Amino acid sequence: MRTTLDTLYRLAGALAAVGMIATLVMVTTGIVTRPLGIYLRGTDDYAGYAMAACGFLALAYTFKHGEHIRVTLLIDRIGGSVQRVLQWVALLIGTGVSGALAWYSLRLAWQSHAFGDISQGVDATPLWIPQLALAIGATVFLIAMLDDLVMTTLGRPCARLANAGQEPARME
C-alpha cells in the first residue's frame, strides 16, 4: 500500500511539472507570436489553466516532502505528548479542510460538465476539463492528509517521500 500511495504522490508531482512546462510553452508562444502578427486563440487562458492545475496537483507531493509552510514556533518548543497531540489536531483540521476542498472542487467540475459551462474567453473551453485537474489535485492531497492522520493516530511516523525530512530550502 505504501508503494501505491508514494507512486500516486509522485505521479501528481510529475503532472504538476507538466503543468509548469505547459504554462511556460503557452506564455512563450504568446510572447513570440504577438510581434509577428500571429494571433493564437486562448494561449493566455490555457496558461492560466495550466498554472492552476500545477498548483493543485503539486499539493500532495510538496506535503509529503515537508515543503508546505508550517508554523513551528510553538510546536518546536513543546515536547512529548503535548506536541504529538497538537500535531494530530493540526492534521485532523487539515484533513477536514482538504476534504472540503476536494468535495467542492469535484462538485464544481461535475456541475460544470452537467450544465455545459464553457469559458468566457475566445477559446470556449468546457470548464470541467481544467476544473478536473483541480479536483484530482485536491483529492490526492486529501489522500495524503488522511495518510498522515492515520499514521499519526496509529503512533507510527508519517511516511515521507525520498529526500523528505531534510532541511527545506531557505530564501534569505
Range of the domain at 25: 2-153
CA distance 34 to 31: 6
Q: Does the pLDDT at position 81 exceed 70?
A: yes
Cell of 26: 503557452
Phi, psi of 163 (to 5 degrees): 75, 0
CA distance 18 to 49: 12
User: What pTM was computed for the model?
Assistant: 0.83
pLDDT at 135 (0 to 100): 96
pLDDT at 162 (0 to 100): 55
| Cβ–Cβ under 8 Å, residues 157 and 151 | yes
- 68 found inside a domain: yes
- 170 found inside a domain: no
| Cβ–Cβ under 8 Å, residues 75 and 133 | no
Q: Does the pLDDT at position 43 exceed 80?
A: yes
Look over the chain and give the mean of its residue pLDDT values, rounded to a whole number: 86
The residue behind cell 529526500 is 163
Lowest mean pLDDT among 28-42, 45-59, 64-78, 85-99: 64-78
pLDDT at 163 (0 to 100): 52
- 81 found inside a domain: yes
**CA distance readout (Å), 53 to 18, 47, 98, 130, 161:** 9, 10, 16, 7, 21
- 100 found inside a domain: yes
Structural domains counted in the chain: 1
pLDDT at 165 (0 to 100): 47
- 161 found inside a domain: no
- 9 found inside a domain: yes
- 164 found inside a domain: no
Across residues 117-146, what is the average pLDDT?
92
- 158 found inside a domain: no
CA distance 136 to 106: 8
pLDDT at 161 (0 to 100): 64
Residue type, 147: D
Count Cα atoms within 13 angstroms, Cβ side, for 4: 3
Report for 74-78, 79-83, 84-88: range of highest mean pLDDT = 84-88
For residue 134, give the nearest of 108, 171, 100, 172 by alpha carbon: 108
pLDDT > 70: what percent of the chain? 91
